[in-house]
Copies of this chain bind each other. A is one copy, B any other.
């Protein structure tokens, strides 16, 4: 129904290149969308992204140094400014105009360094995902994570679009408790121009161990639990999940003190056709004053996500081994299918010629 062996992605889009804290005044190399980049922070604190290849002898610029005026190649000393223009060749006065490397538009905002890998003149800041909670360490304290995963980035997004995996992969962590209740949660899926939104409700269920520990609930308590996700194509998923004790009217108003809830930001950027970078951070919305709660939350999510990684990598390897074997959707794939349609629209917009006006 949708192309699972597909290995392309939209180029005219913002992708997370790094967390802000990763890029300092030293060259920082990262491959994104099959392109080797080098990022660096200049003397004024601005971040730049260049092709990680000197135009002189193809040496990776990551082996060089950040100097006044730009990034200096470590082999023969050529210097490139943030726009990729060569501004210095040691011992040579004239600089040929073809002495340049490709540069990529960068925006740094809300702790994220975003890069635009397509046509630079189409880079549009209004398309950036807005996630203001990242700027609020006081009310939503959080720690940053990054996984390198040996799977196509689509598989990770699929994983977040079908939560019926939770009682199976995560039976010992967040998927514990009432398994049947989780599988049979109500599911409301809303297609959006930018992606897909869905919310699942499990009412009157036994909460999973992670939630019990987080909220400090007594044994035997039942809760109304929600899982709200939005996918913004091509590569962001934002999540708000939690539970309140049964009877507190969670379904009408989730925004109450107490209980358990967390926000999760997921940024998934292709590294290559077969690997991706997974940026994620869980924001502690239930005990913001407790450093211990923030640490515990991070640790448990980390443990849980490692369970997913094992499956994603095995699944990807199997898809590579049998690229043409068919897949059979289940009814739980509805959000996943809608998500794929959104990214497919972006790819088509880039690759298909516009229709001629009549």
Which A residues have a C-beta under 8 Å from some C-beta of B?
4, 36, 52-53, 55-60, 62-63, 72-78, 89-92, 96, 98-99, 158, 162, 164-165, 167-169, 183-184, 310-311, 314-315, 317-319, 321-322, 325-332
* Cα–Cα, bound, A2→B85 (Å): 24
- Smallest Cβ distance from A46 to chain B, in angstroms? 25
Chain B residue, CB-CB nearest to A53: B318
Which of chain B's residues have a CB closer than 8 A to the CB of A73?
168
Chain B residue, CB-CB nearest to A187: B91
* Cα–Cα, bound, A56→B327 (Å): 5
Q: Is there an interface contact between B168 and A74, defined as CB atoms closer than 8 Å? A: yes
Which of chain B's residues have a CB closer than 8 A to the CB of A89?
330
Which of chain B's residues have a CB closer than 8 A to the CB of A60?
314-315, 317-318
Q: Is there an interface contact between B183 and A77, defined as CB atoms closer than 8 Å? A: yes
- Smallest Cβ distance from A172 to chain B, in angstroms? 12
Which of chain B's residues have a CB closer than 8 A to the CB of A78?
330
The dominant DSSP class at the A interface is: loop
Q: Is there an interface contact between A164 and B91, defined as CB atoms closer than 8 Å? A: yes
Nearest 3 CB-CB pairings of A with B = A91-B183, A90-B183, A60-B314
- Smallest Cβ distance from A95 to chain B, in angstroms? 9
Known A76-B162, A168-B75, A315-B58: A53·B322 in contact at CB below 8 Å: yes
- Smallest Cβ distance from A317 to chain B, in angstroms? 8
Known A53-B325, A164-B90, A184-B91: A318·B59 in contact at CB below 8 Å: yes
* Cα–Cα, bound, A326→B326 (Å): 42
* Cα–Cα, bound, A319→B58 (Å): 6
Which of chain B's residues have a CB closer than 8 A to the CB of A329?
56
Residue in B317, B322, B328 whose CB lies within 8 Å of A98: B328
* Cα–Cα, bound, A72→B330 (Å): 15
Q: Is there an interface contact between A57 and B183, defined as CB atoms closer than 8 Å? A: no
Known A36-B318, A91-B332: A327·B164 in contact at CB below 8 Å: no
* Cα–Cα, bound, A318→B326 (Å): 37
* Cα–Cα, bound, A60→B319 (Å): 10
9 contacts between A and B (CB under 8 A): A52-B318, A53-B318, A53-B325, A59-B315, A60-B314, A75-B165, A89-B330, A90-B167, A92-B331
Which of chain B's residues have a CB closer than 8 A to the CB of A184?
91
Residue in B53, B56, B315, B328 whose CB lies within 8 Å of A75: B315
Which of chain B's residues have a CB closer than 8 A to the CB of A314?
59-60, 62-63
* Cα–Cα, bound, A322→B55 (Å): 12
Q: Is there an interface contact between A326 and B165, defined as CB atoms closer than 8 Å? A: no
Which of chain B's residues have a CB closer than 8 A to the CB of A327?
55-58
Known A4-B58, A58-B318, A318-B59: A77·B167 in contact at CB below 8 Å: yes
* Cα–Cα, bound, A96→B90 (Å): 65
Chain B residue, CB-CB nearest to A99: B328
- Smallest Cβ distance from A37 to chain B, in angstroms? 12
Known A57-B158, A164-B91: A169·B315 in contact at CB below 8 Å: no
Which of chain B's residues have a CB closer than 8 A to the CB of A168?
72-77
Residue in B63, B318, B322, B332 whose CB lies within 8 Å of A76: B332
